[in-house]
């Protein structure tokens, strides 16, 4: 079976990055390290069963948001775990669940519930959810759900009910 393996170009710190990533993701491990003497040339690792290769290619290329890795989480607690781990020690928060870790790799971290809120069959509810998400860095589904639900309906006369004359 064909297996596509992302190769990540680092500036001499591929081994440090691989060790960091396997500490963040469960069921992860380094599978092979290629050396030239004492220097690591590249390193193969798995993150929760997904294969990656880190290459120590030098300063010629850097990461940017054109490529990111999405982490659709089972809930807010799992999403918060990855968010805090990946932004630690020099990571940078961005908008709408995006971040760059301390190595410059871009990630999208969000609870799966976000997709349900943004694709709600009620277009007004979905629009309120989107507007709330656009104001966030770390995704907070409690706040997004509250925004989607909108303000509580007001008690009082309505245009379709008779009122006092």
CB–CB of 28/21 below 8 Å?
yes
The per-residue pLDDT for 121 is 97
The per-residue pLDDT for 99 is 98
The per-residue pLDDT for 33 is 98
Domain parsing of the chain, residue ranges? 1-54, 63-151
Per CATH, which fold does 1-54 belong to? 2,3-Dihydroxybiphenyl 1,2-Dioxygenase; domain 1 (3.10.180)
**Residue among 128, 109, 108 nearest 118 (CA):** 128
pLDDT tier, 158 (very low <50, low <70, confident <90, very high otherwise):
very low
Q: Which of 47-61, 106-120, 140-154 bottoms out in mean pLDDT, i.e. has the lowest?
A: 140-154
* Mean pLDDT value of segment 48-58: 97
pLDDT at 152 over 50: no
The per-residue pLDDT for 47 is 98
Structure tokens at 57: 């290619």
Would you give the distance in Å from CA 152 to the centre of its chain?
31
pLDDT at 135 over 70: yes
Q: Which CATH class is domain 63-151?
A: alpha beta
Note whether 1-54 and 63-151 share their fold.
yes
Note the pLDDT tens digit of each residue in 4-32. Answer: 999 999 999 999 999 999 999 999 999 99
| Total-model pTM | 0.86
């Amino acid at each position: 079976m064909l297996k596509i393996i992302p190769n990540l170009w680092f500036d001499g710190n591929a081994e440090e990055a691989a060790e960091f990533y396997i500490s963040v993701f469960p069921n992860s491990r380094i599978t092979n390290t290629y050396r030239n003497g004492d220097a690591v040339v590249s390193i193969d690792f798995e993150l929760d069963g997904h294969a990656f290769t880190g290459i120590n290619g030098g300063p010629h290329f850097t990461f940017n948001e054109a490529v990111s890795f999405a982490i659709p989480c089972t809930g807010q607690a799992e999403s918060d775990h990855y968010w805090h781990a990946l932004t630690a020690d020099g990571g940078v928060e961005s908008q709408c669940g995006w971040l760059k870790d301390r190595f410059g790799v871009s990630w999208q971290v969000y609870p799966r519930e976000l997709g349900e809120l943004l694709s709600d069959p009620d277009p007004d509810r979905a629009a309120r959810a989107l507007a709330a998400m656009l104001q966030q860095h770390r995704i907070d589904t409690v706040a997004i759900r509250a925004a989607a639900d909108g303000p509580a309906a007001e008690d009082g006369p309505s245009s379709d009910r008779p009122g006092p004359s």
